[in-house]
Structures are given as C-alpha cells and as structure tokens.
Structure 1
Amino acid sequence: MKVFPRRRGAVLVNSALGVALLGAAALAYTVLDDGTGTAAAKAPARTATVTKGTVLATVSGTGTLASPTDAAQDFSTGGRLTAVEVAVGDTVTKGQVLATVDTTATQQQVDGAQAALNTATVNLAKARAGVTTTTVQQLPARANGSSGASGSSGAGGSSGRGADGSSASAPQADPSSATAPSATADPSAQTSPAARATVPAAPTTSVPEPQTTTITTTKVDDAAVAQAEQQLATAQTNLANAQAALAGTTLTASVDGTVASVAGRVGDTVGSTGGSSSSSAGAKSSTGASAAPSGFIVLTNPTGMQVTANFSELDSLKLKKGEAATVTLNAQSDSKFNASVLSVSPLPVSGSGGGSAAVQYAATLQLSGDTGKLRTGLSATVSVVTGEADDALSLPTAALSGTGASRTATVVHPDGSTERVTVEVGVEGDSTVQVVSGLAEGDKVELASTSGSNGFPNGSFPGVNGGQGGNGSRGGGAGSGGAGVAGIGGAVGAAGGAGGTGAGRGGGR
C-alpha cells in the first residue's frame, strides 16, 4: 500500500505519542510508589475510640395502618330500604340505628310462627294429660247380724224375772241397812225403770240398699308426648328464626366510629349476609397487609390503630412479641409513633418465595399514643428494636475483624505502637457493636484498611480518583489535587497520587 507523505508523518507522530504515553505511565507509577506512596505509608492510621453509650440492633419493614375496630355493617335480612339514618362523616355509637328495610314479610313470618307455637303448647299439654276413663262398679252385699244382745241386765243389777224377788242372782237386802226397801212398799214400785229397760224389743227386718263405687283411670301415651314435645321444639326454633329475621331488618352499629361509606339509598334493594350484621376489617390481602373493609356501611375508628408490616425471612426470625418499635408515616416523615410487636405470622406472605422473589413474613404491631388523626391504609416504615444494650462500651463495627461473639481489634497506644487483642462482643447494632471484654473506655482502635489488592499503592490505576493533571498544551501545567501525568501533545493530564503538583510532560508545539 502506498503511503502518502502527509499520512506517513501522522503515523509517525501517533506512534511517538503512544510510546511517550507508556513511558509517562511508567514514570508516574515510579513517582507515586517511591514518593507519595512512602508518604502515605507514613501517614497516621485512622482510629476509632471506645465510648460508652447505648447500642441498638434494629430490623425494618414496610406496611399499612389499619384499625381492628374498622367494620363493615351489612343487613342480615335483605329487602327494600325504607330508611338510611346516617351519612358519610357522621359519628355513631355502638347500637345506634343506621338503616332499615321493609318488615312486612318478616312480620308475617313471626305471626305465623307464634300461632304455631301456641298450638304446639296446647297439644303438648293434652298429650301429657293423657286419656281419662270413668267406670261404676257395684260392691258385694254385707250379711245381716243380730240387732243387739237380749236379756241384758239393767243398770240396777236385777235379772227382771218376777216381782217376788226370789231370784238367786238378785241382790239380798242387808237387814242392817237403813235404806233397805220395806216389805210394805208400794206394789207398783216393785219394778224399777232400769228393770223395765232390760226387756228385749221385738226384732225388725230391713232390706239393705246396693253399694257402688266409681273408678277413674288415666292413660298417657309416651309416643304422643314425645311427638308433641318435638313439635313444640320445632315451633320454638321457627319463632326464634323469624324473630331474628325481623330484627335483621334494622341495621345497627356494631362499634363506635365514623361513617366512611354508604352503599345505598332509600328505595334500593339490598342483600343479606345471612349472618352477623357486621364483618371485621382484619382480613389479610395477598401482600400480607390489612385490607380495608367493604359493606353497605363502613365504620372506621382510628382508636387502637395497628400496622401490619412485612419483614425479610432473616429479620423475621429476630422478631419477638413485645419488642419495641418506631412507626414512621411515609407521607409524613416527621410523624413517628411508638409501637410494640403483637404477633409474627408463622406463614410466609402469600405470593412470596416463588421464583426469585424473597420470602417475607408479616408482623402486626400496636401503635401507642394519640392515633385519632390517622387513617386506615396509610403506608408506613417500621423499625423494630431486636436488641439493646444501655450504658455499654461500644465501637464501630468496622474497627473489628471477624464474625461471631469473639473478634479481633488492633489497639493503637499513645506512643504509636499497636497491639492485636481479642474482643468479646454482645449486641451488634446497625453501625456499632457492644464491647463485652478486651477493650476499655477511651482505647483507640485502628479502623480496617480500605486499600485494594491490584498492586497499585492505593488500589487503583494511577490518576484515578486523584486531582486533575496540568494542561499539557504548552509543555507543562500545574495539576490541582494530585500528581497529574500530563497528556502528550496537549492531552488532559491524568489525576494521581495525593496532594502533589502536576508534572506536565509533552509537546504540543
């Protein structure tokens, strides 16, 4: 290939420039290594002083605020809305009526169930009373006996045989008795009234009347009683259900709070939940955060506000119930609240752990202080204190070498000499570590060196990260902030070394 004279000159100049650049690089390395490198070696090492204070170990997570008393209020009995008593922003108390639906159908159900219960009550009473049967039976006739004992003596002891008084059984008159009857007594007095009473009367014959008795028998059918009892129980259940359905047509507040939303107006038809008229707001979303409640009427209450935050799997292992924390609102970084850990979920957050996604676990924390102005759904950053050492010796983590509870440090004595010692550590904070033994307050410890290992004095190519070299357009210029190797033929000098004067080398004429 034919080379023109002008191009040949350019090739020669470029070649010369390349050779000169390589020489300049070698010269710069020699200068830095022999001069400034020696000066750097003689510079005092960076040290840290052992001090006394508080060492805190923390872990961080992000989440959203929610109140455990936030609740969605829904009708347990659907129907046509007849009244809506509240509006968004109203403050309500527990038990206050919020809305009502038409009660015509449910009232009819209650009336029918009550009538069925009354009938079942009567039927059970009849079944328990049983069937009563009355029969009349004739008693057997009794045998006729003597009407009395005949020949009984009178009260005076006379046998009543005759008037001559010759009976042996008749009592004899005492001759000496002054009261003995005289032989000349009145013959009419020979028979006393008592003696006349001993004469038996003529017997009379009578026909006895037939005797009867009434027998009453009651028979209870156990099967009929059991059936009646079952019917009564069913009627009672039906009435209770009907009454609950009637009560479900009136929606009342389950908690104190502020009305956050109303999903209908008078005349609209609303459905039923088929259960309680309120639902909790504590459900977790797929991200582990608490989801806001939804319903016909939503009540919110910032009192007792909580935050559910997600933590990495490593940090979650450090969390324990009762640990103190600080919650910072992302929208207001100057708003900080104290909190404590309530619980840590043993299950990973839904959706984490799959593919390359990091595994996370959710923790719920209770905020303290005045949370009246907070809102459900605000995002926040949570910092949990997992370890704390008060009034403890501490040192920057960078001043120690190794891992675990036993590490090493280089102590710099006042005379400049150094000593390698073993240090026992305790709580390892975010940037400092607790010193348990091996060092004393006020000791100076050499910080770990940050030099590289690529063969250059400061771990990088000469001129990188140094000051700007001189302007070599006229042979030499002063470099600022470092020893600069000037470019050849007006190239910008490379920065290098520490605090020297730029040496411009090159032509550029």
Structure 2
Amino acid sequence: MTVRESMRARWRRTRPWARAVGVVVIVGLVATGAWWVWWREPASADAQVPATRTVEASLTTMEKSVSGTGTLEPTVRQDVSFAVSGTVTKVSVAAGDTVTKGQTLATVDTLALDADLLSAKSTLAQAKARLSDAEDAADGTDSSDAQVAAAQAQVEVARAGVDDAAAAVDDAVLKAPAAGLVTSVDLEVGDVVSGSSSSSGSSGGSGGGSGGSAPSSQSSSSATSFTSTGQFVIVGTGAWQVETSVSESDVANVAVGDQVELTSDDLDDTLYGTVDSVGLVSTSTSGVAAYPVVVSITGDTSALHDGTSVDVTIIYERRTDVLTVPALAVTTADGTSTVTVQAADGTQKKVAVTTGETSGNLVEITDGLSEGDSVILTVFQPGSGNNRGQSGSGGFDGGQFPGGGQFPGGGQFPGGGQGAPPQGGGSNG
C-alpha cells in the first residue's frame, strides 16, 4: 500500500466531527498566512523612509497670542423713548433711515405741558411775592428771619418746578442721542405715550430717554444681551467692537492697547483692532474662569454687519527679525543643541547653537548661526515598496501552495477532497 493510499484509508476511518475540525484548522492556517503576506508584510515595505534637504536660516516675525471667538457689534446701540406723556403728533423717521446726533425723531402734543409750565411760573411768581413781603416785614428778630428763610426756600422750589416744566416741553421733541441707523420704530401718529424714560442698550451701553442723552461706554465686566424696549432703536455704524473672553491663565498676558486680528468666513479680509478693556470680574463655565475682553475695531468698518461671528487673535508679544530654522533641523542631546550646516562646496559639519523660543514648527536661534546659513533637516516620506502579489499571480509563491498550487495530493484533501477543500476541483466523497 502506497503512502497516498494509506493516508486515504486513515481519512475514511476518521470520525466526521474530526474531519470538520481538521478543515477548520487548515482554513485558519490559510487565512493567517494570507493576512501575514497581504497586510503585515506590505506594511513594512510601505513604511516611511528618511530623506534630507537643506533650508536656510532666515529672519521672521515671532508672535505670542491668545485666541477666542466673538460677535461683531456696533459700539453705539441706543434704545430711545419719550420721557413725557402725550399724544404723538409727528414721526419724522422710519426704520432704515440714517440720522445725525440731535436730529428730531418724533413729537408729542404740548397742550398739557404748556399748561404745566404756565402753572409752574405762576407758582414761582407767588413765591417771589411772599418772599418780598417777608423781607419788607423783617425786623431782625429770629421769627422774621425764619419767615424770610422759608419764603426763600419756597422760591427755590418753585424755580425748580419751572425748570422741570420747561424741560418737559423740550422733551416733547424726541431727538437722536447719537448718529446712526434707525433699525426699529415702534410708534405712530396718534399713539399715546406714557412718558416712560427707561431705556436700555448694549455695546454702547444705555442710552436714551428724553432729549437724546449721549451714549455711555460699555461695561467691560460682562456682555449685555440687547432686547429692544424703546420706541426707537438707533445703531451706530461708525464704530464697532467685539467682546471675547480669555482664560484665567491667559488674562495676565492681555493688556489694553494690544493688537488684535479678526477673521471670519463671512469677511473678505482680516479685520484689525485693539484691546479696549479687560474685565476684572470673571465668569465660570464648568469650573473654568474666563475674563471678558472688549476689542475696538479699527480701519474701514463700512462693510461690517451686526452679528457676524469672528475668530479673535490677541497678539500680546511680537518680535521682528528673529533668526529661525525649522525644528526638524535642531538636535538636542544632554542639554546641547546642534544643527548640521552645509557649506557652499557641499561639506557638512555639526554646529552647536543656542535656541530661544519656539513658534509653530520654527525654533529661534540666538547664537551659532547667521542669516542665510544652510542647514540640513531630516524629513520622512512614504516608501515605494509594495510586494502584494509580487510572487506568482497575487498569492503565495507560485500563486498557490506547493504541489501545483493546491494542497498536497493534487490540491484536494486526502480521499478525493472531502470536507470542502478551499482549492482544486475535488468532489465530495
């Protein structure tokens, strides 16, 4: 009996479950071998390989900055309402109009206000008459002196009443407290106003009320969410600002006057500004303290729009003409930094250098190099090797297992390929 016949006889005597286990083991070995050749081996062949090139030490500008985000807002944003009661007789502007400081926005009737002023003047006249009588009757006694003093006080009170009544007549004409764009008008002729002088504002602070009071500067401690409560809303378009925040660890580096760069996908160009104020009161989010910083925009602001989100970069240190080389060119060992310098004739030598600060992928060189010196740096690039399918037709050596690319014995399992062999054309049984 030949060896082949003996193997077939043994296979036939094997229990079916043992045959199944044998098939699973063989298939597992085949899969493991395929993974090793197809994936493991090409990975090493495709590994990155080092390459060198030369760069020149050059002068550059190094900066230290703090980043944040914010929203463009006009510096002046006034919420203006009548401070006197009356019926609206005229509305002089509409939403979308541009107004100047002091321009008339609307008026109310002055019938009642004029009557109040006349009454106040009458009261003042009577107080003056009583004062005159008291002075004429004064005889130097304490009693007469007290009567004169009381009459004098009544005159002062009456005079203040006249001033208030006159101011109310003036307030019947509502004027713009600042130049800007009228964004909202909530008033029509015939409306009766109650004379509420409460006004609110953001960015430029509170404005408003009667007679067009000037805008106040914004508090630097926190941002104010603007909600219109007035009869007119005026937004100044000549000055803009952004409020951002910096962390507790960065706020010490930021100072009033620092230069700021602002960018946005909604802007064609970079905006520039300066730090206008740094808040002293922090807010906390998830236990992290942040301090508000207000940035005033400089330059042309004619194309800006309220509510545009921007990325803010506050530059707190900038140095020009700093000698730098790429960080890959510097090797540091045992506290000593060196670079490899290549001369004009191609010769190379290591040179000890003194390094300064790092910015991105650049390292400052304070001693050991001069501008224009060529230094060698090592970079890594993908290898070109790829041995997938290089042996045979995309598989193992010869494309198949030994023995014609199949399992020993003609590519089948012993016994005619029973057990669903992975290769060959053996039949079942």
**SS of 1:440's equivalent?**
coil
Q: CA deviation at 1:253?
A: 1.0
Q: CA–CA distance in 1 between the matches of 2:36 and 2:60? A: 55
Question: Which range is displaced more, 286-295 or 221-230?
Answer: 286-295
- Could you tell me whether the CA contact under 8 Å between 1:63 and 1:289 is conserved in 2? no
Alignment of 1:42-441 (within 5 A): 43-45=50-52, 49-130=56-137, 221-271=144-194, 272-273=196-197, 276-277=209-210, 278=212, 280=215, 288=223, 291=226, 295-332=230-267, 334-348=268-282, 350=283, 353-355=284-286, 358-397=288-327, 399=329, 409-414=337-342, 419=350, 421-426=352-357, 428-441=358-371
CA change 1:61–1:27 in 2 (3 A) is closer
Question: Which range is displaced more, 408-417 or 224-233?
Answer: 408-417
- Could you tell me whether the CA contact under 8 Å between 1:284 and 1:290 is conserved in 2? no
Q: CA–CA distance in 2 between the matches of 1:54 and 1:283? A: 34
Q: CA–CA distance in 2 between the matches of 1:263 and 1:340? A: 36
Q: CA deviation at 1:443?
A: 4.5
Residues 14-51 of structure 1 show CA distances to partners (whole Å, capped at 9, x for unaligned) of 2432664687599949x95xx999x95xx545665421
Q: CA deviation at 1:220?
A: 8.1
**SS of 1:221's equivalent?**
helix
- Could you tell me whether the CA contact under 8 Å between 1:397 and 1:433 is conserved in 2? yes
**SS of 1:17's equivalent?**
helix
CA change 1:282–1:432 in 2 (3 A) is farther
1:470 aligns to 2:394 (yes or no): no
- Could you tell me whether the CA contact under 8 Å between 1:304 and 1:367 is conserved in 2? yes
- Could you tell me whether the CA contact under 8 Å between 1:127 and 1:220 is conserved in 2? no
TM (normalized to structure 2)? 0.71
Residues 54-107 of structure 1 show CA distances to partners (whole Å, capped at 9, x for unaligned) of 223333222122222332221111333222111112222222211122333332
Which runs of 5 or more residues in structure 2 are unaligned? 1-13, 199-207, 406-421, 425-429
Q: Which letter does structure 2 place at the counterpart of 1:306?
A: Q
More strand by share: 2
CA change 1:290–1:282 in 2 (3 A) is farther
CA change 1:27–1:337 in 2 (3 A) is closer
Q: CA–CA distance in 1 between the matches of 2:360 and 2:401? A: 49
- Could you tell me whether the CA contact under 8 Å between 1:130 and 1:219 is conserved in 2? no
- Could you tell me whether the CA contact under 8 Å between 1:58 and 1:383 is conserved in 2? yes
Q: Which letter does structure 2 place at the counterpart of 1:436?
A: T
Q: CA deviation at 1:470?
A: 2.3
CA change 1:19–1:323 in 2 (3 A) is closer
Q: CA–CA distance in 2 between the matches of 1:286 and 1:434? A: 38
**SS of 2:60's equivalent?**
strand
Which runs of 5 or more residues in structure 1 are unaligned? 133-216, 452-457, 459-464, 480-485, 491-506
Q: CA–CA distance in 1 between the matches of 2:51 and 2:276? A: 50
TM (normalized to structure 1)? 0.61
Question: Which range is displaced more, 71-80 or 227-236?
Answer: 71-80
Q: CA–CA distance in 1 between the matches of 2:174 and 2:256? A: 38
CA change 1:97–1:26 in 2 (3 A) is closer
Q: CA–CA distance in 2 between the matches of 1:317 and 1:389? A: 19
Q: CA–CA distance in 1 between the matches of 2:290 and 2:142? A: 75
Residues 324-349 of structure 1 show CA distances to partners (whole Å, capped at 9, x for unaligned) of 222224412x232222222222222x
**SS of 1:411's equivalent?**
strand
Q: Which letter does structure 2 place at the counterpart of 1:273?
A: S
Q: CA deviation at 1:242?
A: 2.2
Q: CA–CA distance in 2 between the matches of 1:80 and 1:362? A: 43
CA change 1:13–1:235 in 2 (3 A) is same
Q: CA deviation at 1:421?
A: 3.3
Q: Which letter does structure 1 place at the counterpart of 2:102?
A: G
**SS of 1:16's equivalent?**
helix
CA change 1:487–1:419 in 2 (3 A) is farther
- Could you tell me whether the CA contact under 8 Å between 2:102 and 2:175 is conserved in 1? yes
Q: CA deviation at 1:314?
A: 3.8
Q: Which letter does structure 2 place at the counterpart of 1:250?
A: V
Q: CA–CA distance in 1 between the matches of 2:37 and 2:394? A: 15
Q: CA–CA distance in 2 between the matches of 1:429 and 1:27? A: 38
CA change 1:488–1:55 in 2 (3 A) is farther
- Could you tell me whether the CA contact under 8 Å between 2:138 and 2:148 is conserved in 1? no
Q: CA deviation at 1:228?
A: 0.5
